[in-house]
Each structure stands twice: as C-alpha cells, then as structure tokens.
Structure 1
C-alpha cells in the first residue's frame, strides 16, 4: 500500500471488523457485527458513539449508505495521561475482546468460563462444530437421555458468539421445555433468549413497533415448535431472515416428510449458517428417513439414502451413553448410579379379579374369538384397566358412544353387551377396591412422602383419567389437609397449555414450593428436568415400550442428580385363569430396560424399531400371535436387520480415537489476567467515582457487585428475558459477581425459592451484557480514529497494528496482532507488550512524545505490516483450504440426477468457495510504544 492509493479504495477492499469505528450519516458508530447479504452489500450492526446517537443501536447496509471505514494512515496519535496507562491498556484489551476469533482457530476459547462443571465430554460437541470437518458448524447431538445436551448446546453457541457467528440465534423446542431451556442458557452462559411464544409474545409485543417483524426486533429468540410450525402464520417472517445459528431440540419430530414440523425444518435449514439438532432418539428405524434428517445438516453428506455407513456422517453427529468410557470416567461422584427398578406386586382385589375374568374370557380368550372385531381394541381395554378402573370406565364409555352412533350389526351388538358388563363391573369401584392405589399410598409413605416431609416423587401414568384421579385422591390418603391438600400435588398432561405445563415443572423444581407429588403423563418424558429436588419415581402403569420407560426414568436419572435414582413400578397380578396381568408384559419390559441400561447405556436399540409407538404396536401384534415379550423383541430386532449394522455403529459409543482427543484450548491473546481484572479497571476508568456515579457497592470479601444501571445499560437489557428483568427489578439494581461460588449459590437458592427460579446474582462471563457494555464504553474513550502512545521499554518506536483477512461472507479467516519496528514486523504483539513492561504496575511518567514524528511513521509501518501478511498468507490459508477442498471432492461424488439436486450442488460449491480468504487485509493502527528516552 502506498500513499497514492486513495482511502476510498482501501475502504472498498476492506471489511468492517467488530470494534472498528465507522462514519455513517456524519455520525460515529462502533461496529458490533458484520454479515454479507446478496443484494445490499455488508449488513453492519452498530452502536452509536458520537453525541447525537450515543448508545443507539442501528443497522446499515453498504449498498444503501455511505460507510466510511477510517483510513488507517490518517490515524491520530495522542498521549495517554491515565494512571498506569490504564486507558491504553483497556483499549487494547477491548479490541482483542471485540475481534472475532478467526475461522482458522479450532480450539475452545470459553469452555472454562461458565457456571457448570468443566467436563470434556460436554465440550466435545463444540469442538466438533469448530473442527473444520464440516463446511459449516452443523451437527446432530444424539447423546442419550440425561447427559446434558442443553449444556453442550450452550457451550457450542458461546463459542460461535465469540467468533462473531452467533449474533442472531433461534432456538426451537417443545413447549414444555421452553422456560427450562431459556433459564439454562441465561443462568449458566449469560446467553439471553427472548421467548416469542403464547404468553411470551404478549409480554413483549408492546415493545415492538407496529407491524415490525418480531424475529428482526429481537436477535436471540426461543419459540416452541408447536407455535412456529404454523408456517402460514410465520412463513413470511422466516423467509426474510438469515440466522447465524438455529437450534432444534427433540429433532426426531422433524423426520416425517410433509408434516408441519418437517416443513419448518426445511424452511429454516437453508437460512442459517450453524444448525444444531438435538435428540436422544433421532432414528425411527428407517434409513431413508434418517438420511433426510442428516440432509438438513448437509445435503451432500449421503450419496445413497438407502445405503450408507456411520463413517459417512461421522463429521455431523456425536453420540455417547452413560456407560461410554469418557462419560463414565468424568462423571465419577457427579451423577449417582441408579438403583434397581423395583417391581411392587399388587394382588388384585376381588372386584378387580372379576374384571380380569371378563377380559380373559370375553375379550382376550386363549382359545376362540374375541367379542370385538377390532383386533387391537381388547388390548386397549386391557391397558386401560392395568392403569386404573377409572381409565377403563372412560375407555368403555368412549367405545359405547362410538358404536351407538351407527346401525349395529350382530357382532357389534355382542360387543356392546360385553361393554355394558364391563361398565357394570367398574361402576361402583372405589379407591378401596384398587390394589395399585393401596400399594402406591404404602410406597409413598415408605419413601417419606407426607405432610411433614420434604421428600418428592414423580408418578407416571399413560392415562389422563388416572392422573386426575390420583391427584385428587392420593394427597387425602397421605393425610394432607387444608391448604396443603390443595398444594401438595400437581398434574401434568398434554391437555394443559404450555404455560400450565411449564408452571408444573417449575413448581416441582423449587425447593421451598409446597408441591410434593407430580402426577404426569408421557408429555414429561422428553426433555424435562425433574431431578433438582427429586430422586424417586413410580410407574403407576408401565408403557409397553422400552424407549418410553427409559425416557421416563431419564427425568430423574440425569447429569446433576445427587442421589441414586429410585424406580418403582406397580405390577397388578391376578389369579384368574388366562388373565394377562402386568407380569405378562410390563414386568418383563422393566427387566429388559434395566439390563440394557446397565450393559449398553441405552435400551432404544433392543427392539430395532427406535420409536416408542412402533415398539408398542409391534408388541401387541406379537401378543395376538401368541408370542412372549422376549420372543417379540427378538423377532422385531431380526426383522429390522436391514439397518441394524448401521445403527449399531451410529448408536454405539464414540470411537476410541475421538474419545481420546483432548479438548484443545484456543489461542486467545489477552493483556489482562482475566475478566475480573478487566472489569475492575474498566469501572475505574469509565466511572472514577463509581460509588457515587453508579451507587455501586463492591463487597471485596464475597465478590458481590451491586449497582444502579445507567440508562444506556438498561436499554441493552431489553435483550434479557422479560420475566427475569421484571422479577429481579433489574432496572433499579443489578447484582453481579465474578465469584463463581457465589453465583452458583445464588442459582441454588433460586431453586429453593417459591417466588422466582431466576437467581438474584448473575456471573459476569465474557458474554454477559455488563461486560459487553463496559467493553464498548472503554473503546469509545478514545476519539474518532485515535490511537494512544505508551511510554515503554522499547529500543525504537513500535507500532501495534491489527491485521484481518476475511472471506467472501465477511468473516475473519486470519487475525494477526502485529508489532512493527522500523521495517520489521512480527505477529507477537502481546509478547512485545509484556517485554516492554506494559502492565498494571507500570508507571506513567506523563512523558510528552513527538507525536508529529511518530505519526509520520504510520504509512511505512502499515506497509511493513501488509507485506508481512501477504508473504505468509498462503501458509495460513492451508489450514482453511484443505477441509474445503475435501468437501468439494465429496461434493463432486454426490450423484444427483434431478435439476434441484444439481442446483443444490452448485450452491454448496459456491458456499465452499465463499469461505476462502479473499481480497486484501484490513489494517488498523492500535497504539504506538515509544521509549521515555526518545527525543521530543
């Protein structure tokens, strides 16, 4: 670069890196994030720093506005009169923090920064996302129930944010885990998500300008899949948005082609850079369906959807079980081993025996024909009765109502008569005639559930009628009275709204909430954390699916469980001849699930069907053929053998080589020892009298920092969950800390509160809005295009220069922090600063430097820096080119006979090329080191 090159050319050939200052519409702005658009050039997200627009957030497009990136040759040098050169050191640290890590950096930068145990197995999904094995950070996290997939997602998103690839995030989950997911990402990672769902949208809509797309107004949102799948309502919004990252939890629900969920996934997948799918049961037993799920991540990963191997997609998925070596070794002492599944035999009462006899003789005879012409309906009756007489009544009434709607032939008349006999047998039955009810009350008392106990239990049943009956009757039988009688139990099933379901889960997880029993259906068997205050689970009835049993047990048998989970199942037994009681199916399935869990870590592959509904249907059909449970499981596994070899690979533990890989740490240059030192010095610089200016109280003994947030910080906090802002009254006072133990204690106490599950004190991670706010405040302490001069121990003036190469989509591929002395440039800026004595203990002699002379040396220093970069760029690009070329090679072998397939291939090839370094580097003068002995 020479003096003759115009500044405009320099600006046109450069990107606008986060932390840089630009001028748009005659106002100064600080760049926060940049993305490339198809038609409008670079999309630049900024915050105002000049007086008129200070702290205002905005977005500019380079094709629509004149965006002036400061010509680095016109940098103005200034003396720094702050103590210990604090202003300069903070400025340099802020630039280091605001600059995204380059595409070539594969290590983890923030793994040890958050409120969670540093477990390498939970860090490996983030490592896979950044590994370069895939063109983009896209993967399926398929860990079994309870290993902490939400934490793995949080770590991955945090690393993407640090790389400038996580500004716009969409999280899609089932409705009953919305609040849980939102809570985990904020309290543990300081990643705020705004809930745009039913009541959530009502709480924020008054903040949205009329007609504004809520998905553009809020950058990081969480929505239930049941809300978002209504593509007619949201499609026009979603089609106009490009996301940095999309997360879809319980992604096995996306598989059915043509379903609303599948249409939603097909809409979102091409409109996001990073895509994270999560499911403990991602395979439905059909190779083609699973290939379609993988195609959301990478359309070219599988050449033949009927025939492929696990190694074809190993760069796109990660799968571990509790018995995987890396998990087992790392979880010692942090996840109590589960106890055995105890079968509690309940001998049928005389009234129940009459029902068993009627079912055995009329509906499910060992020989002869059933009274029903519908083969599966007798088993529907049996399962209803094995749940409760209340559920059987409801099933009988529903069937009678169905049959009486049409002209009944002779066979239907006989079935109606049999139904009326069952109705008579159950008409007057009460709790005293239910063997399982008596056993449940006895078991609950034995484990300590009662009016004067803190013990909690979750009771599962498949039937809503059973749940409602138990909710009303069990607290009375246990001796709860008065107000406690109404508060002791909650019932949760799919008939409740998402708000009601989330409230049930939250109440059950708060230590000082009065709820002691949660009666729930299988709506709570996926994704819900019930282990915070509970390690006791009772199957009032047992689902006829190994997968469903495992999913139920996983609600309390999961990472973070401090006590050995205890499982009990009520097994109704009968002495009636030919009766199919719970010993026929339920007890044997419990034994098989327990065996599979201990030997394999999961039970889902035992039947080879991989879907709970398919398992149950197949089992009932085999029972009709006279097979036992063991014969049925063996037969279905053999019949599923076409995909069994692949699934054995895919659903097995990770390979030894992958498990043995250490989680590499990123090379993140820092001038300060950590966030604590940076925050302390930033507050001193920006608010010299913080006690008065912010009403700040810093308890040095505990580490608690309490202060009144100024208006510009309050404005930023609109990105935080509204419930959290309101309940903790954040607009009046903020409680934050850099003490991890204190933050964790606050989180624990929140779970013990009946008023709010949000902790009062939040941990100041690098991603926390308070840290980001202070970082921006530090950056704008210097004026437009100013750089400080620091008196340091250097032999000659040393220019500190930032150099960034970017790709065609505007993301950094190479970032270098250079020091230029004379015509020699190096990329060890931080090391040179330390050797020169730049640090918190250095003295500032208030030396006045010859700024004109130093400024005259800027063009030559920039030229030396660019020469240094250009001479080495080919070597740095090798790390980027190799995986991209490998992907393009794989893409060339992807056979697609259709026009749509060829168009997809062309788009993916263009995407691969766009990730390569392009153009000249962006250069920025950050500071100059000059000797105290230099002549003025």
Structure 2
C-alpha cells in the first residue's frame, strides 16, 4: 500500500527509512514530496522524499515513552529540558521567527514588529535614534514574515559602506544567508547563476548598494526583478534634494507603486528641517500622507492613520520604556568631558609661522587681483591650519602635497566643490575622505620658507614637542587605569598612524592598532576583530579615522570615545560616539572626551558656533538636528577665524572675538533655528501613539518562556560541557572549550562547522555574552544530547529520574512534554500553514487525587536541589509507577494539548489585531490543531526529603 504527501500535515510524526521524522511547515511541495526533519535532528538533516517511490510506505508513528532502566540523575533531567527548548526552531508563542535568531531583542524592539503584523501590507518608517537598534527591528520584521511564509525574497538597499554590516547582521544574528549586490560583485553573481534562474530565485536575501543602482540600466533591471519586500537603510539619503538623491527617490516611488510590496524605511533623521524630504518619505508609506504637510491637528484621522506606519523613539523614550517594562538592559550613561591644551613653545611658534605664511600668500594674491588665486589661498589656509591643529604628521603631509590642478581659476563652483575634503560630510553623507588635503601652492615647493616649515613640523613629533599628544597620553593612561577601552578618532590618516605609533611607545602592554581609509572595508573589519581576539590584559586602544564612524559596530570591544580631532559637523561627533554607545553595549557608562586647542582660533570658532549649538539642540529635543548646508558661508567664516591671531596669555579659549565670522554665519544660524522648530513641531504632531508597553510585555514574556533566555543558554552550555567531560575554562572575559575531550561524534560535527581549532590543539574561545540559542556550538550540543537520550545511548541528558529533595512536601511527578501544533491562517486571501512546537513541564502532585500544575511553578520543579538519589532499583520502580499512572491520564494530556492550541491561536490573533479592531482581508482567521498523541519526553519523580 502506497502513501501520498497529502496524508500528512505539518507536525505529524511519521516513520520512514527506519526512523522517526517530523513533517515540516513546508512539508508539501508542488511535486507531491514531503520535507521531513529527524525526530531528534537538526534543520541541516531535513530531507525531501516522494512517498510513492519509497520501498516501505511512510507511516504515522508514535513517540516511545521513557525506559525506567535508563534512569539518570536530576541534573540530567534539567539538561534535557534545556536542550529541547533551545532546539525549538518553530517554537510556540506569538512569533514564528524567534527560534531562528541569534539575538535576544529588547521589549521596545518588538514595537515595529507588532506594528508590521497589524498591517495587511507592511509599510513602516522606523525613525529611532542612533544606536537604538533599527537594523535589528527591521530584520525581526523580515525574518518573521519569511517564517510565516508571507514573503520568500527580500532586498536591503543601503549606502555602500553599510553593505558588509547588513550582510553580516543578517547572517550572524538572523540566520539569513545574504549576498551583496555591488558594482564589484554584480558580474560574478550573474555568472554563478544557474541557466534560466533569476537572482532572487537563487539568492532570496540580497543586500544592494545604492551606488550600484544609480545608473539607469541597473535601476531598470532591479525594478524588473525586485522582490516582494524592500528594506531601505539611511532612507533620508533617498528623499532630499539633489540629482542623485532624486533618482533614488524615483526608484523608491516605483517600488512603492506596487501596493502589495512590503516596504521598511530606516533613518535616524527622518526630519532634519527639510519639509520636502520628510513628506517625500511619508508619501512612500501612503501617497495621501503628503496632505499632512498642510494639516496639523492632533485629532486628524489621517495623522492617526500615520501612527500605524511611523515609529520614532529617542534615548529618553527608550529609558521610559525600560522603566515600564523593568528591563535592566538599558543604554549606558554617556559621560562627556572636554580636555584642552595650549599652543605654546615650539608648537605655538610653528602655528604662528603657518598663519603668517598664509597671510603673506593672501596679501600677495590680493594685490595681484586674481579671483581664482583667492580661492586657492582660502583652501590652502584652511587645509594647513586644520592639519596643523591635527598633528605634526598631518601638517608635514599637507605642506608637501601640491594643490595645483585642484581648483580651476575660472570655475565659479570651485568654492563649493573644491573644499569637499576639508569638511566632515553632510547629514546625508558621512563618508568623507580621511586623506590630508593638499596645501602646497604651485611654485612654492622649493622656497626656503616652505622647507623651514616642513622641517619644523617634523621636529615636533612626540609628546615632548606636541602638547596635544601629551594630553592624550595622560588621558588614555587614566582611561586604561579605570578599565575603559577607548577609540581615538582622528581626522586624517597621517594623524591616526602617528598617534597609534606614539601610544604604542607609552603603553607597550596594551593592544593598540590603527584603522584608516587606506585599508579596504574588509581589512578594517578584520583588524578590529583581531583586536578582539588578542589578549588585552593590558588594555585595548583603537585609533581610527572617520572611516569607522559608520558601518562597523564597536560596542562589544570598546567603552570610550576620544575626539582627538574636533569635527566641523556635530552629526559626525554623534556618529562617532554612536559606534560605541549603542544597543549591545554592556558597560554601564561610556566616556566621551573632546580635545581642543585652548588658544587655537579654528578650534574656538568651531566649538562656539557649531558644536555647542548642536549640543544644545540635541539636549533640548533629544535628537540631533543636522546643521544646514551652506559651504560657501562656512568657508568664508572659517578663513576669517583661522587668520585671527591667537592670544599669547592663558586666557579662556572663547576669549576670541568672533564677531565678524559669526556675522557671516548668522543666516545659517537662523536656518538651524527654523529646522529645530520644525523638528520640534513634527515630534509633537507625529508622536508614536499605536503601541504601548502593556501591549508588548505579554508577548515578550511568552516568547522568553517558550524559547528560553540568554541566561538559560549560558546555564545549558556550562552544564552540558561539564557533563561531557570538557568543562568551560574562564579566561579573562571569555571562556575556553577544550574540544578534544568531547565525544568523537560531537567533535566531528563541530569540525564540520569549522568550530574545532586546527590540529585540535588549541581551545575553542567563546564569549558567553554573545552566544545565543542558534549559535552552532549551542545547537550541536543540544542536538547531540537529545539524540543520545531519545535513542537510549546515554543518560547524560536523562528521560527519567527519581530524586529526593526538600523542595516538595509530597511525591510529585514532573512530566516533560513536547507539543506539536498545526497552525493555519489567512492573510490577504492567501492561506498559510505552519508547524509550531513547544516544550512544556507538567507537575502532578500526589498520587491520590493528584493536583496538576503547569506554567512557571511546574518548570521550576525541574530546578529543584537534590538531597539525595535513590538506589537504582528503587528509582526504576518509582519511574515505572509514574509511567503507569500517566498512561491512564492520556485523555487529560490530550485535553491539555488542545488548551495549549487554543492559547496559541489567541496569541497569534492578538498580535495580528489592531487597537480595538481587526484589519486586513481575512486577518485573524487563525486555526490551530494539536497533533495527538502528545510526546512524553521525560518523567521525573521527586520524593520529599524525610529529614
């Protein structure tokens, strides 16, 4: 008799090819095949078979009860429970994806996910502040939609410097293998595609560089193959004015025109004072939202509709959430400080000489009447004085690099374009060059005056001649002494290499390295990772240029930021600090220090007119409002300030009279105030209303109860390794696992995953804080323990035990159940079928008129402290009696499974439900059916201690 795939539903237990399998959610393929996972196996062991072609028919199977002869001890019982729970991938609870992710999201990060599940087509603008975790929030939505079967393909559009970060986050945290589509990789990816197969059919998850799809040919091709879900990071760069940005916006408009396409827009600055750009973003969610530009009533129905699509939280808002949810994993305190140094002695003399040199060139150019020459002098003055303020190395580099050819004398746009590498990027583009700007004018290279300046700069290197470096050395020493690991941000490559070299001389015991734009992006990442792997007992210091102010997260290794060179843009300072002070930072406090020259007119002007203004706005509003762009005015003001004579005494830094340069920037300051007012008004009008802590907490707790927390992962790992004769060994902030002591089958599996060090001589180094349930080490340990327990090969993780304990006052049987449910629902007239599994502890107190307990009270009994173990014969007898009594209660077990199925249906309907009403065609039509009979995985008898 043959069987067909239609006879089996997700969650069914079947027997095929001599073993038991569980039918998967995608168990029915279009060709009538079945996808099956081994009963105790992993996702990697899933097979696909055609029932009609099997020699022996596929049959429904039943789960064998525990064998009293295989009784173990109580610690082995808890180990099996933890292994079962951590191996759940399609875990019960309100979300389908949490078993497949390697991150433990915070409660506030579930808000966008809940908002997404309440929309028939997901259109969200996530405008959370820097470092809150927008990437995680968006990836949670994507993973959930994929695990529900509602999408199969997704593209992430982002700036080129974020491609690798997105690719890594999706792979490492969300188990979504992604490929990068960039100008460099496109041809290779196309060549590797099988004949006749499209990119997104072969690679369901693709991270696309926005630079790649700039050209019309690439843009049109992407539009023709674009998947059903699009994520856009740094979305504000696609909505502002400018030719390149306008093309990006048109691309998004055409993508959004498909009303069935899911669209997630991410930006830390959804509104930066540019009204057109802001409402362009809103129009991608719904074209009707453009009308809100003229409608500001808080009770406007259209504004209330927007609240379902737009979420924006500041650090302050997150702190309020954490207080409401009692979530102890808050953001660190950001402690800011300023350090000053004097331009004095040889260094002060050098600065004065450079200023005098610039003035002489300016006077000579002015007398010649050359307009183009004046622009060259502007450039040379700012370049030289900024490099002088940075380091002797940067000053020498600027003085020895010719400026000729950079600014054409007759080019009227040169004022704007020629100064690009002097500035620190705009709000939309923070990837400016870190090479030193050229400052040597044509015809000046051989002058005695210039050669004398270069010689002076070269002699000033080192803490003895460089007062700025001397202050840094003292400060870094204090930070290291206090247990901090700082990132020192420099503006130029020469400065970073100079500072790193000098710090190595002063702190030979510390791990110190430099990362600059000289390195390719992958090399930068590798260098940072290498610092994490090195023995940092003497401290860790990273010296970097702004090539690291975006794209690579530093919060796991570093706890302080030093602005060695002040930025000319407050957004840049926030980006630097946000690399360290962000989601995942475990230190309670992050220190941020800014160095500036007390009598340096350039530093003084930037500090007073730009940075402190930006800081005041951020303190008032809670988010940064980018400085308006007016490069020509800024250049003029900077030159005026740069040529001011520095005070010779020890007066305060802000003792400079910046009246004239401040007047030049007065219109810009007015624009900045206007932007602040608009941002303040929009935060009031568009404040997030839809989801509150009381709505999120039940879902958060249910998910942690169903799948286990990170603390459960750590307990399981330490217990499992100890019982497998390879206890973890503490080493600084990490642990070492000596894999050579593990059983050979487990070693082979670890080796297949590349987790056994070469030659098996070195231990495997693990950071327990970064390990999650889906980490290969955790998965393989759990898989091995479950398999050996179910096959009766070992009692390391025991299916039955009898224990004496003072934690019970009468005989109590704890039953470990595995429940499987068939979950189906409709969304937008499409039907979806899924498998949901859960591990449940049931406690039966007493044997006469027993009392049944479930929930946390029953689960805690598995953590009882044994007072002693029974003799083997007595333990087997107690387990046999418990199994016999349980067999008579099978109807009650089935009824319990039906109750859990009903609860699961309510959970899924609740997260799909909007406030007070259902939305979407067919939303909420969930059906959950328990797969019977229930799997009795473990039976553990607890006997009261007579003492």
d(CA) in 2 for partners of 1:677, 1:480: 42
- Residues 30 and 46 in structure 1, CA contact (< 8 A), matched pair in contact too: yes
Aligned to 1:397: 403
Deviation digits for residues 321-373 of structure 1 (CA, Å, limit 9, x no counterpart): 369753998799943511137586686745323344257657799xx997139
Among candidates 30, 34, 43, match of residue 25 of structure 2 = 34
d(CA) in 2 for partners of 1:13, 1:398: 79
Aligned to 1:635: 670
Among candidates 479, 490, 493, match of residue 467 of structure 1 = 493
TM-score by length of structure 1 reads: 0.62
d(CA) in 1 for partners of 2:835, 2:473: 59
Query: 1:335 and 2:360 equivalent?
Result: no
- Residues 3 and 51 in structure 2, CA contact (< 8 A), matched pair in contact too: no
Among candidates 554, 569, 575, match of residue 529 of structure 1 = 554
Query: 1:888 and 2:888 equivalent?
Result: no
Among candidates 617, 622, 625, match of residue 596 of structure 1 = 617
- Residues 341 and 568 in structure 1, CA contact (< 8 A), matched pair in contact too: yes
Among candidates 88, 104, 107, match of residue 94 of structure 2 = 104
Aligned to 2:543: 518
User: Aligned-pair distance for 1:83?
Assistant: 0.8
Query: 1:326 and 2:320 equivalent?
Result: yes
d(CA) in 2 for partners of 1:861, 1:327: 41
d(CA) in 2 for partners of 1:812, 1:778: 23
User: Aligned-pair distance for 1:442?
Assistant: 0.8
Partner SS, residue 16 of structure 1: coil
Alpha-carbon distance change, 342 to 394 in structure 1, aligned in 2, over 3 angstroms: same
Alpha-carbon distance change, 397 to 443 in structure 1, aligned in 2, over 3 angstroms: closer
In terms of mean alpha carbon deviation, does 799-808 or 99-108 score higher? 99-108
Alpha-carbon distance change, 246 to 812 in structure 1, aligned in 2, over 3 angstroms: farther
d(CA) in 1 for partners of 2:554, 2:279: 30
- Residues 156 and 231 in structure 2, CA contact (< 8 A), matched pair in contact too: yes
User: Aligned-pair distance for 1:520?
Assistant: 1.5
Deviation digits for residues 874-894 of structure 1 (CA, Å, limit 9, x no counterpart): 8677525632995737xxxxx
d(CA) in 1 for partners of 2:908, 2:834: 14
d(CA) in 2 for partners of 1:573, 1:249: 38
- Residues 76 and 855 in structure 1, CA contact (< 8 A), matched pair in contact too: no
Query: 1:772 and 2:795 equivalent?
Result: no
d(CA) in 2 for partners of 1:261, 1:714: 52
Map 1:411-450 onto structure 2 (within 5 A). 420=442, 426=450, 429-430=453-454, 432=456, 441-448=466-473
Deviation digits for residues 396-430 of structure 1 (CA, Å, limit 9, x no counterpart): 62436856999xxxxxxxxxxx9647776756531
In terms of mean alpha carbon deviation, does 440-449 or 303-312 score higher? 303-312
Partner SS, residue 34 of structure 1: strand
Alpha-carbon distance change, 491 to 928 in structure 1, aligned in 2, over 3 angstroms: closer
Partner SS, residue 280 of structure 1: coil
d(CA) in 1 for partners of 2:335, 2:205: 36
Aligned to 1:546: 570
Alpha-carbon distance change, 479 to 21 in structure 1, aligned in 2, over 3 angstroms: closer
Alpha-carbon distance change, 878 to 142 in structure 1, aligned in 2, over 3 angstroms: closer
d(CA) in 1 for partners of 2:758, 2:223: 33
- Residues 793 and 836 in structure 1, CA contact (< 8 A), matched pair in contact too: no
d(CA) in 1 for partners of 2:662, 2:127: 33
Query: 1:805 and 2:796 equivalent?
Result: no
d(CA) in 1 for partners of 2:477, 2:863: 63
d(CA) in 1 for partners of 2:575, 2:861: 59
Aligned to 1:565: 592
d(CA) in 1 for partners of 2:531, 2:839: 51
d(CA) in 2 for partners of 1:769, 1:928: 24
User: Aligned-pair distance for 1:769?
Assistant: 2.7
Query: 1:492 and 2:519 equivalent?
Result: no
- Residues 793 and 837 in structure 1, CA contact (< 8 A), matched pair in contact too: no
Deviation digits for residues 502-552 of structure 1 (CA, Å, limit 9, x no counterpart): 245456766479996725245535655289457463454642x22223323
d(CA) in 1 for partners of 2:129, 2:80: 45
Aligned to 2:306: 312
TM-score by length of structure 2 reads: 0.61
Q: Mind listing any 5+ residue stretches in structure 2 that lack a counterpart?
A: 295-301, 388-394, 413-439, 640-659, 793-798, 803-809, 826-830, 845-850, 942-947
Aligned to 2:654: none
Query: 1:125 and 2:149 equivalent?
Result: no
Alpha-carbon distance change, 765 to 301 in structure 1, aligned in 2, over 3 angstroms: farther
Aligned to 1:357: 359
Aligned to 2:421: none
User: Aligned-pair distance for 1:501?
Assistant: 2.5
Alpha-carbon distance change, 283 to 552 in structure 1, aligned in 2, over 3 angstroms: same
Query: 1:82 and 2:80 equivalent?
Result: no
Alignment root-mean-square deviation, CA = 7.2
d(CA) in 2 for partners of 1:479, 1:700: 28
Aligned to 1:414: none
d(CA) in 1 for partners of 2:364, 2:95: 70
Map 1:851-930 onto structure 2 (within 5 A). 879=910, 882-883=913-914, 886=917, 888=919, 909=921, 913=923, 916-918=925-927, 922-927=931-936
d(CA) in 1 for partners of 2:382, 2:7: 71
Q: Mind listing any 5+ residue stretches in structure 1 that lack a counterpart?
A: 1-5, 407-417, 575-580, 736-757, 890-908
- Residues 90 and 836 in structure 2, CA contact (< 8 A), matched pair in contact too: no
d(CA) in 2 for partners of 1:504, 1:922: 51
d(CA) in 1 for partners of 2:702, 2:541: 46
d(CA) in 2 for partners of 1:333, 1:866: 40
d(CA) in 1 for partners of 2:766, 2:939: 48
d(CA) in 2 for partners of 1:719, 1:551: 39
